[in-house]
Each structure stands twice: as C-alpha cells, then as structure tokens.
Amino acid sequence: MTRIVYLAIAFSVFAVAAPAQEPSAKRGREIYMKTGCYTCHGTVGQGTSVGLKLAPDPLPAEAIANFIRNTDTTAPSYAAMPTYSADVLSDAEVADIAAFLATVPPSKDPDTIPALKGLTATR
C-alpha cells in the first residue's frame, strides 16, 4: 500500500514539474495581434507615431516582461502604455511575443529598392 502512495506522490510531482514549452514565434504573433500590441507598435513591431519600435533585434523576453509590468502609467498620454500583469500576459506568452519579434527581418536598404535608389529625405 505504501508503495502505491509513494508512486502516486512521485507521479504528481513529475506531472506538476513538467518542462515549460519552448517559446513559439507562431503563438507569439497570435498573442501580439490578439492582445493589441500591433495597434501602437505596428503589425511587425516596426513602431508607429504612438508606439516604440520593437523589432528587429527585440529586447530579451525578461526585459519586455519587466517593462510591461512596471511601465510608468503617469507618463504623458502620447507615451503612456498600459501595464500587463502576469495574470493578463504570462511570462510564457511574453516569451512567445519575443520569439515572434526575433523573427522580424531588418528593413531593406533603400538603395536596394529601384524606386527609392538615389532619393534623399526632405522635410
């Protein structure tokens, strides 16, 4: 009887301590879009007039999680970002978003695009 109890305890420990899922860029894109990150940061993290550029070369997942959980909600409205607690966006979901952002390739050099070759920026 005691062996059965020990086996049950051992099994429940292994079931609870299952390894975490590897971050997934596919899940990350889905979460990024579903959560609404794209509305401020663009569909591929390119940044917009209201949200910072996140990709290519995103921050590590831990830094992203720290920022979104501790962002300054007293910033001016143009710079304010809502906070996302771990209850709203888990560390695993943030890791998935970081994995998605890491897949975004850098922009092409304008000189490699025939229609833009040789143009200069004006304001």
Q: What is the per-residue DSSP string for 40-107?
A: HH-TTS---SSS----SSPPPHHHHHHHHHH--TTS-TTT------TTTS-HHHHHHHHHHHHTPPPP
Cβ neighbours around 34 below 10 Å, total:
10
The predicted model gives 81-109 an average pLDDT of 94
Q: What is the CATH number of the domain that holds 49?
A: 1.10.760.10
- Is the pLDDT score of 92 beyond 70? yes
| Position 114 in a domain | no
The total of structural domains in the chain comes to 1
| Position 119 in a domain | no
Residues with Cβ within 8 Å of residue 87, at least 6 apart in sequence:
none
| Position 54 in a domain | yes
CB 23 within 8 A of CB 95: yes
Residue numbers of the domain that contains 96: 21-106
Quote the pLDDT of residue 115: 87
- Is the pLDDT score of 114 beyond 60? yes
Upstream peptide bond of 82 is cis (omega within 30 degrees of 0) = no
What global pTM score does this model have?
Answer: 0.74
Q: Which amino acid is at 58?
A: P
| Position 71 in a domain | yes
Question: String of b and e for 61-91 (b: at least 16 CB within 10 Å)?
Answer: beebbebbeeeeeeeeeeeebeebeeeebee
| Position 58 in a domain | yes
| Position 11 in a domain | no
| Position 78 in a domain | yes
Q: What is the pLDDT of residues 33-72, one digit of tens each?
A: 999 999 999 999 999 988 999 999 999 999 999 999 998 7
